[in-house]
């Protein structure tokens, strides 16, 4: 009987920036099955947050992911403002949206650069990362940091954007736009990139629905979903923009969606800056003295897709429960569809095409006794414990409110 070959990718591999183990089961060059293991980088952030004040949690959740360091605070703020029944001032909405869309631009350019590197196009890698630099400079001008911006708070933002910076933001975007157009044409018109990415790692519309995938991964397969429009927040209902959707579902389609979203993000930022000019004297936050008992769910459209935060407040100054779901958690599951049937080299492209972020995704998979190495709890038992605790907190809260 012919034995299957197992090709391990990870947990530490040059293809990946973070630890994660993929086992590619192969028959010759063809991938016949795939398994993956998580838990190498689990940081216990949900549990840590229970020991932090509501305001301190912002600084923890923006470190869940270095690329989505605005998306997590945004979703957490939406959850907390639902609990506190806070109405955020329009000026704060515009500032939040500017930061969130700058994050989308720099994240998509980072992905394009890495994609070019994976297929051997290091010129694309260097161009994309070169044009990403001015966006990081903008972050420094607006927030004081190139990453981990510390802009969000319950009820608004911590810093205003000064009027003298409006023209700087628009000038830098004007310079980035033609560079991004040139880069997009160089990638989309290249026949070698067509051969390497078209028809590779296809996810059908039904695959996306079956796996509940989100973000550019879903929109590249013809699924028209986007939290910015479907569950409006921030300034998105106040400006004109459109959701980018293409039907093909392959690696090439995912690149097209991300490129076109860069131009939509630039347009959104330009409109928000113009709106700020008319609101130069208005406030950037509302004061929230205490958080009442209750629970709230917050969603935000990260560059990779929907980020979800669920918070239970019990009247204390810290979350009684904080549940976080990042987009990679659902997008990674599509590997069962996108990689099987591909060659090994194409399967690694399909792995990278969803822009997986393992730091965001990590969950504890098993609990072992450190002395005996005996397994005490498996993943299913951990999920049941988590669900039981959430139900107990909800029951406790409803008992207090009656």
Give me the chain's average pLDDT, please.
90
36, 22 contact by CB (below 8 A): yes
**Mean pLDDT along residues 35-47:** 84
Q: What's the CA dihedral at 156, 162, 165, 169 to 10 degrees?
A: 10
Please report which confidence band the pLDDT of residue 160 belongs to, taking 50, 70 and 90 as the band edges.
very high
What pLDDT is recorded for position 218? Answer: 96
Rounded mean pLDDT, 311-334: 92
**Distance between the two ends of the chain, CA-based, in angstroms?**
66
Q: What local confidence, expressed as pLDDT, does residue 207 receive?
A: 94
Distance CA 132, CA 112 (A): 10
Residue 144's pLDDT is what? 92
Ranking 33-42, 155-164, 176-185 by mean pLDDT, the lowest is 33-42
Mean local confidence (pLDDT), 174-192 = 91
> 240: Cβ–Cβ under 8 A, 6 or more apart, which residues?
267, 271
Alpha-carbon gap, residue 104 to 332, rounded angstroms: 20
CA-wise closest residue to 73 among 142, 145, 161, 152: 152
Distance of CA 102 to the CA centre of its chain: 13
Q: In whole angstroms, what separates CA 138 from the centre of its chain?
A: 20
For position 279, what pLDDT does the model report? 75
For residue 300, give the DSSP letter: E
pLDDT given at position 166? 94
pLDDT at 15 (0 to 100): 64
- pLDDT, residue 57, reads 96
Q: Tens of pLDDT along 355-383?
A: 888 777 777 777 888 888 888 888 788 88
pLDDT confidence of residue 1 = 54
Is the pLDDT at 274 greater than 70? The verdict is yes
> pLDDT tens digits, residue range 123-156?
889 999 999 999 999 999 999 999 889 999 999 9
Highest mean pLDDT among 2-6, 268-272, 343-347: 268-272
- The set of residues, in sequence order, having a beta carbon less than 8 Å from that of 4 and lying 6+ positions away, is 25, 26, 27, 32
CB 288 within 8 A of CB 154: yes
User: Which pLDDT does position 177 carry in this prediction?
Assistant: 94
What digits encode the pLDDT tens for the residues 80-101? Answer: 999 999 999 999 999 999 999 9
The angle that helices 344-353 and 251-278 make with each other, rounded to 10 degrees, is 20
Cα 181 to Cα 187: distance, rounded to the nearest angstrom: 10
pLDDT in tens, 204-263: 999 999 999 999 999 999 999 999 999 999 999 999 999 999 999 999 999 999 999 999
What's the mean pLDDT in 170-179? 95
d(CA 352, CA 287) in angstroms, rounded, equals 43
pLDDT at 383: 80
Per-residue pLDDT at 344 exceeds 90: no
pLDDT on residue 246 = 96
Which sign does the torsion angle of CA 212, 214, 220, 223 carry?
positive
**What three-state secondary structure class fits 389?**
helix
pLDDT value for 16: 67
Q: Are 320 and 50 in contact (CB under 8 A)?
A: yes
- CA 194, CA 73: separation in Å to the nearest integer? 37
**Three-class SS of residue 151?**
coil
**How many Å apart are CA 81 and CA 63, to the nearest integer?**
21
* Residue found under tokens 């990689």: 339
Query: How many beta carbons lie within 10 A of that of residue 42, not counting itself?
Result: 13
Q: On the CB side of 60, how many CA atoms lie within 13 Å of its CA?
A: 20
Length of the chain: 402
Residue bearing the bigger pLDDT, 393 or 328: 328
> DSSP for 105-124?
HHHHHHHHHHHHHHTT-HHH
- Between CA 337 and CA 208 the distance in angstroms is 10
pLDDT (mean) for 185-198: 88
pTM strictly above 0.75: yes
Kindly state the tokens that stand for 140.
């420094």
């Amino acid at each position: 009987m012919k034995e299957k070959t197992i090709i391990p990718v990870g947990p530490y591999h040059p293809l990946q920036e973070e630890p994660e183990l993929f086992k590619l089961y192969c028959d010759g060059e063809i991938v016949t099955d795939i398994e993956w293991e998580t838990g190498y980088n689990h940081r216990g952030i949900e549990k840590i947050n229970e020991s932090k004040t509501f305001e301190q949690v912002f600084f923890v959740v923006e470190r869940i992911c270095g690329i989505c360091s605005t998306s997590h605070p945004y979703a957490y703020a939406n959850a907390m403002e639902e609990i506190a029944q806070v109405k955020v001032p329009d000026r704060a909405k515009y500032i939040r949206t500017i930061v969130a869309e700058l994050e989308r631009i720099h994240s998509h350019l980072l992905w394009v650069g890495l994609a070019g590197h994976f297929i051997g196009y290091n010129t694309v890698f260097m161009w994309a990362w070169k044009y990403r630099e001015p966006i990081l400079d903008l972050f420094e001008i607006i927030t004081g940091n190139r990453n981990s911006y510390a802009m969000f708070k319950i009820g608004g933002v911590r810093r205003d954007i000064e009027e003298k910076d409006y023209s700087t933001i628009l000038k830098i975007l004007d310079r980035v736009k033609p560079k991004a157009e040139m880069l997009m044409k160089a990638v989309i018109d290249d026949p070698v990139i067509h051969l390497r990415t078209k028809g590779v790692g296809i996810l059908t519309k039904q695959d996306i629905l079956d796996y509940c995938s989100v973000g550019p991964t879903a929109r590249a397969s013809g699924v028209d979903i986007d939290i910015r429009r479907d569950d409006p927040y921030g300034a998105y209902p106040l400006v004109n923009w459109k959701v980018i959707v293409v039907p093909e579902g392959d690696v090439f389609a995912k690149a097209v969606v991300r490129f076109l979203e860069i131009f939509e993000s630039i347009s959104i930022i330009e409109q928000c800056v113009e709106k700020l000019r008319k609101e130069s004297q208005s406030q950037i936050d509302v004061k929230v003295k205490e958080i009442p008992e209750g629970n709230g769910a917050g969603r935000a459209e990260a560059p990779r897709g929907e980020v979800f935060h669920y918070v239970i407040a019990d009247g204390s100054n810290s979350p009684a429960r904080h549940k976080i779901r990042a987009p990679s958690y659902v997008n990674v599951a599509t590997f069962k569809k996108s990689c099987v049937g591909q060659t090994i080299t194409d399967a690694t492209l399909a792995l990278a095409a969803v822009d997986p972020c393992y730091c965001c995704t990590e969950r504890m998979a098993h609990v072992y006794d450190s002395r005996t190495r005996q397994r005490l709890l498996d993943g299913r038992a951990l999920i049941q414990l988590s669900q039981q605790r959430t139900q107990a907190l909800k029951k406790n809260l409803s008992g207090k409110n009656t």
